[in-house]
């Protein structure tokens, strides 16, 4: 494996907190140039300032992944600033939980727009650049919920199954362009993801579980680094991992 990511240009959606923030900090420490995209510009600017204070290079671009034009702008800004994109981490995600009979249809739409369409928009934005380069790595974030369906998690699980299907289709299509693809499916990670659950019963169950089992977001950052740092002829297609304490 390479010991450094010096000069790698890495675009991360959902980069203002949680998995995206941890990964940005971890990869920047290994020399990567980081381009963060998320809606909360102030949070990203603070992360960028920290990276720059440590001698790294980073850029924040306010981005709503439900708007394909904003996602395209994120990639275009990365290319304009650094000349290329080596890794696209489609990390932005939303987890809302409730039984179907609760008919929280707006929340279904939110998860479809962010988790599925946001991933597709990231692929659409970066693919022409990577095809032109004849190199690149697309990393999409699924979940253990993309492998198992849980009560109250039906729609969320469906979106994460979709991410896996999209990623496998992409993998098969991009071999002629020398591109790599990875799906990372984490279990319970200590982020603000559970805070988006509005259904009281589901929220209590998830929060109780997370308090007992969740592990640090650094675990995800290390998984990303592992996939990226392999030799060019090694394509890590899927990483599924959980906290040791997680039974599901």
**Which pair of tokens denotes residue 7?**
């000069």
CB atoms within 10 A of CB 178: 14
Number of alpha carbons in the 13 Å side-chain half-sphere of residue 176: 2
Distance CA 248, CA 246 (A): 6
Distance CA 77, CA 138 (A): 17
For residues 184 and 20, is the Cβ–Cβ distance under 8 A?
no
Say if strands 87-90 and 238-241 run parallel, antiparallel, or are unpaired: unpaired
Query: Is position 156 annotated as part of the catalytic site?
Result: yes
A 10 A CB-CB count for 203 gives 18
Which strands sit side by side in the sheet containing 33-38, from one edge to the other?
Answer: 57-62, 33-38, 9-13, 87-90, 136-141, 179-186, 238-241
- Do 146 and 163 contact (CB within 8 A), yes or no? yes
Distances (CA, A) of 165 to 5, 96, 235: 29, 21, 17
Q: Is the dihedral angle over the CA atoms 1, 89, 74, 76 positive or is it negative?
A: positive
From 121, 156, 210, 225, active-site residue:
156
Active-site residues: which are they? 156
């Amino acid at each position: 494996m390479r010991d450094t990511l010096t000069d790698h240009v890495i675009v991360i959606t959902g980069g203002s907190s949680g998995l995206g923030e941890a990964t940005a900090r971890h990869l920047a420490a290994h020399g990567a140039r980081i381009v963060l995209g998320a809606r909360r510009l102030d949070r990203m600017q603070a992360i960028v300032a920290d990276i720059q204070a440590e001698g790294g290079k980073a850029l924040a671009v306010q981005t709503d992944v439900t708007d394909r034009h904003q996602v395209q702008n994120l990639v275009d800004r990365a290319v304009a600033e650094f000349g290329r994109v080596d890794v696209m981490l489609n990390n932005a995600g939303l987890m809302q939980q409730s039984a179907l009979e609760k008919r929280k249809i707006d929340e279904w739409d939110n998860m479809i727009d962010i988790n599925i369409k946001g991933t597709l928009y990231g692929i659409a934005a970066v693919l022409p650049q990577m095809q032109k380069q004849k190199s690149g790595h697309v990393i999409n974030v699924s979940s253990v919920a993309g492998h198992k369906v849980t009560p109250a998690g039906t729609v969320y699980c469906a979106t994460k199954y979709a991410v896996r299907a999209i990623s496998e289709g992409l993998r098969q299509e991009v071999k002629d362009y020398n591109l790599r693809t990875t799906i990372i499916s984490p279990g319970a990670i200590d982020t603000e993801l559970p805070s988006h659950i509005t259904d009281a019963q589901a929220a209590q169950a998830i929060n109780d579980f997370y308090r007992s089992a969740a592990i640090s977001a650094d675990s995800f950052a290390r998984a990303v680094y592992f996939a990226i740092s392999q030799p060019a002829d090694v394509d890590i297609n899927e990483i599924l991992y959980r906290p040791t304490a997680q039974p599901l």
